[in-house]
Structure 1
Amino acid sequence: MPSSSSRIVAVFGATGRQGSSVVEALLADGTFAPRAITRNPDSETALKLKERGVEVVKGDNGDKASLVAALQGCEAVFGVTVPHIPPFRNAGQSELIQGKNMVDAAKEAHVEFFIFSSLPGLKKLSGGKYSGSIFDDKADTEEYLKASGLANATIHLGAFFETHHTLTKTSSGFDLAHFGPDTPQPFTWIKHDVGESVLAILKNYTDPSKGVSGKTYQVVTAVMAYTALVALTAKALGVEVTFTSLPTTGIPQFDEMALRYCEYSSILPTSPVPNPDLVALGAKFSTVEQFMEDVKERYS
């Protein structure tokens, strides 16, 4: 088996939530060496990665040639695309173009395995009710990857615990504000469970008996309603935590995303939580209680 220094995994979005989770998991395990792909290798976050010994390489999702160069010598890729809407910064390309560039570059660079962070196609799922969703570019990229001839796997995440659990200080404690109906929906603790899941897939993809290639894995930490999340937060912090229902997120595409989770979660392909297929591969999922310990550190 090659050493970790020769088993390089390119990580897109390495300075963001998902990519940084993957980088941390790879560094902690040591089987693979992460290569951070970023448009700006001189950013503060990229420089901090360099200080920790992570290889940082310039690559622009809107420029396939730069990606081909960045992926040379990589065994595998973790790919994530950035929505072409505010408040995100990207190369000005749609997620589908970004994703296709990644896949095509990986093929040209002779990458062996590609893991893509995707989502179900909302237009198809809703029978056309939601047609402008940021989900659909991800789903179309997933289909493009599956038809590419590259060995691959995809992961589907729930709502990010980190971004959907921002508390505002009140006179008696905290408030959690959220747009959309208060119905059970999937949540994922990105910091912990994305990296764990990607690492488990990478460590097993070469074994045909594991059936990893071509598979889609749900990476979900918990399924609950916001009122239940608020109750757990109040218990963890020992103060009153209220819940405010917002009329909008301020971004139409995000409104649609929230409504999708509520309206269609009951008919999405589901697996038990934690996903037994990923657990069988060695993924060690976090719990809501562990996430609450993280919340206590941030807000106590």
Structure 2
Amino acid sequence: MTNDKRPVLVFGATGRQGGSVAKALMKAGWPVRALVRDPVGPASIALRDAGVELVTGSFEDTCKIRAAMKDTHGIFSVLPANLAADEEVRYGISIADLAAEIGITHFVYSSGASVGDRLTGVARFDAKQRIEAHIRKLPIIATIVRPMIFMEMLVRPGFGLDKGRLLSLIRPEHSIQLTAVEDIGKFVAAIFADKTRFGGVTLKIASDRVTGRDLEAAFTEVAGRPISYARFPDDVLAANADLAHMAWSLENGPLAEHVGLTAMREINPEILSFRSWLAASGRKALEEALGASAT
């Protein structure tokens, strides 16, 4: 447990990533403060009941954000996935600039593993690279985390599970590295606990590495029915720039970069395998995607 009792300000705490971070930080002994748009929404009430200090405001409210940052130890910044790329860049840069202005001790930004050394031409991926580049120019101790593809993506409706198959981005014999969202919070808590080690670091985060065949076996076992695996057809990828870029990146780009799971486990000893996640935290979403309860 940390001896520094100043709070960590968590953006996105009513969402999955920010919620995971808030939960892990509180478990590690950090007071948590969260910026929320709707203080009486169910997610906000759950945070308050768990002991999180709520500050009402939006990404446009720089005065509220500046006040929320006051007297904090650090900041976790993550932007909603539904923002337009230009909004994401604007808000991400604004939050980082305010943190530098105030003199925040440790700034942690959640980017994405699709970010590489070059712009991709896909607006939502390039937004994160632009924010990263800006943060690196600021006079602030920052850590950038790049989570690999979320396990949660594989149990969303519309990927064929209701028809007894899983369509995804890799060829059956190829592998993909995945991250459980709940693991992100544990990694971030470890990062805040050791600024000396992680300050100035860009860290890719992964929980497991699996092939398409491994996915087929895991889904079949947990669902209690045969689930086949196949890569998205080429025409589907050609029609969706985001999916096409991710599929390419998994073979030839940043998403193909190997993340050592032994090193990950040293940072987060509670790291989740895909199979264990699917059988526990992911099971409800799996059952919904299947269209009927798994046996």
Larger % of strand: which?
Answer: 1
Superposed displacement of residue 178, structure 1: 2.9
C-alpha distance in structure 2 between counterparts of 1:253 and 1:24, whole Å: 34
C-alpha displacement at 1:2, in angstroms?
Answer: 7.6
1:273 offset after TM fit, Å?
1.4
2-side partners of 1:80 and 1:251: how far apart?
28
**CA positional deviation for 1:161:** 0.2
- TM-score by length of structure 1 reads 0.81
The alignment status of 1:262 with 2:260, answered yes or no, reads: no
TM superposition shift of 1:289? 3.4
SS of alignment partner, residue 261 of structure 2: coil
Give 2:34's aligned residue: 36
Which is further off, 51-60 or 20-29?
Answer: 51-60
Q: Paired residue for 1:79? A: 77
How does 1:1-300 map onto structure 2 within 5 Å? 6-30=5-29, 32-83=30-81, 88=82, 90=83, 93-119=86-112, 122=115, 124-125=117-118, 130-166=120-156, 168-170=161-163, 174-178=164-168, 181-182=171-172, 183-191=174-182, 193-205=183-195, 208=196, 210=197, 212-243=198-229, 245-247=231-233, 248=236, 252-265=240-253, 269-274=257-262, 276=263, 278-281=264-267, 283-294=269-280, 297-298=283-284, 299=287, 300=294
Q: Percent identity?
A: 22
CA deviation after TM superposition for structure 1 residue 95, in Å: 1.6
- Find the aligned partners of 2:131 and 2:249 in 1 and give their Cα distance: 20
Rounded Cα–Cα distance in structure 1 between residues aligned with 2:202 and 2:126:
16
Distance 1:107 1:124, change over 3 A: closer
SS in 2 for 1:150: coil
Report how many aligned residue pairs link the two structures.
280
Q: CA, structure 1 residues 282+157, in 2 after alignment: closer, same or farther (shift >3 Å)?
A: closer
**Distance in 1 of aligned mates of 2:265 and 2:90:** 33
Name the SS for the 1:284 alignment partner: coil
Contact 1:153 1:216 in 2 (8 A): yes
Per the alignment, in what secondary structure is the counterpart of residue 89 of structure 2? helix
Moved more, 61-70 or 11-20: 61-70
Q: SS of the residue aligned with 2:152?
A: coil
Partner Cα separation in structure 2 for residue 267 and residue 11 of structure 1: 26
- Shift of residue 25 of structure 1? 0.7
Deviation at 1:265, TM superposition (A): 4.5
**Which secondary structure state, in structure 1, belongs to the residue aligned with residue 18 of structure 2?**
helix
CA drift of 1:263 comes to 3.0
Q: Specify the SS of the correspondent of 1:141.
A: helix
TM-score normalised by L of structure 2: 0.82
* CA distances 1:127-162 after superposition (whole Å, capped 9, x unpaired): x6x312411111221121121011111111111101
- AA of the residue aligned to 1:292: L
Distance 2:214 2:248 in 1: 19
Distance in 1, matches of 2:255 and 2:42, equals 42
Aligned partners of 1:282, 1:295: CA distance in 2, in Å?
17
* Higher mean displacement: 180-189 or 217-226: 180-189
Secondary structure at the residue paired with 1:164? helix
Distance 2:124 2:96 in 1: 19
Corresponding residue SS for 1:286: coil
Cα distance in 1 for partners of 2:165, 2:259 equals: 31
Distance change >3 Å, CA 81–CA 155, structure 1 → 2: same
Q: Cα gap change, 1:292/1:177 in structure 2, threshold over 3 Å: closer, same or farther?
A: same
By percentage of residues, which structure has more helix?
A: 2
Give the aligned residue type for 1:22: V
